[in-house]
Each structure stands twice: as C-alpha cells, then as structure tokens.
Amino acid sequence: MTTLSAYRHPLSERLYSGGAGADAGKVLKLAYEAISNLGSSDSYTPTKHELFAMHLKSLRGEAPEPFGDDTLLAATAFWSVFPKHFAVPELSLDDDGEVMFDWSPSAGRMVTVALRYDGRMSYAARLGGGRTRHGTEYFNDAFPAWLGDLLSELGS
C-alpha cells in the first residue's frame, strides 16, 4: 500500500480554517511555519511553497480550478522525492485540477507531467530532432525512472 492510498485525512482540516479573526490567522501562521520547515534544499523550497499556496487559493475560492487535498498530497509526495540535480519545473493547475510540472529549457523542447490526485502521471515530451514521447504511468512514492530518463535527455 502506498502512502497516497493509506492517508485519507483531509489536509485542509489541519492547514486552513474558513473562520475569520485571530484564530484563523493563527492557523494560517502555524501552517506556513510547518510548510517552511519541510524542505532540505533552499532552491526547492519556493516550489513547495507554491504548491501549498495554490491549494490555499483553491480552498478560498480564489482559483478557477479545483485543487483538492489528495492532489496536494500527491504533488508534495512527488516533490519530496524529486532529485535536486534536475531543473526546477514551472507549476500550474490543469482545468481538471491536476498539478502540471513543466520543463522547457529551449524552444521546441519540453517535458510536461500532469499529476492527478490518485498518483496518475500523464506526460508528453518533445526532445528535439522530431523525437517525442507520451504516456501514462503511476507515481508510487519513488521518483519515476522514466521521468529521470526524459529530463536527462531534455538536458534539464
């Protein structure tokens, strides 16, 4: 059983309070402090913070796309095993609430991975010279070797 399937308590219950006033402010401050201590690499901390910020915006109704608790768990689990020697991706939300990780070091070359709440990873890559790859795999608590191969080939 993976961490994703074993964990079912909504993260938002611990990170966000919909209430107003001092108590809500304390909850958000505590959440920020907890999040800021999760990372081990300073260059990767902003991306981790961006994931939580996207989730909080969605909880507040400020994001056009849904970004659920299970998607946040999948994305942070993926990010926690992401090798630090690869370039930091750009993050965004897909229309259906999947977290998009994008690497594009030069024109015509890119790797895009869409990570869904259940760990499904759909990907597409243009590697130059007319070479492309695409498919669907599942994240299982370890960095996917196929993605490492794609990022290495991309030169990311």
pLDDT truncated to tens, each residue of the chain (156 aa)? 444 444 443 444 444 444 556 776 666 666 655 555 544 444 456 677 788 788 788 778 877 677 778 888 899 899 889 998 899 899 888 888 899 999 998 888 999 999 999 999 999 999 988 899 999 999 998 999 999 999 999 886
The confidence score (pLDDT) of residue 1 equals 42
The confidence score (pLDDT) of residue 110 equals 96
Domain count within the chain: 1
Pick the closest to residue 48 from 73, 68, 17 (CA basis): 73
CA 135/CA 142 separation, integer angstroms: 18
Q: Say whether 48 sits in a helix, a strand or coil.
A: helix
Residue with tokens 């938002």: 12
How far CA 100 is from CA of 17, 57, 119, 137, in Å, comes to: 26, 16, 13, 15
Q: Which domain covers residue 58, as residue numbers?
A: 3-154
Predicted TM-score (pTM) of this structure: 0.68
The confidence score (pLDDT) of residue 94 equals 84
The confidence score (pLDDT) of residue 101 equals 95
132 neighbors 126 (Cβ within 8 angstroms): yes
138 neighbors 123 (Cβ within 8 angstroms): no
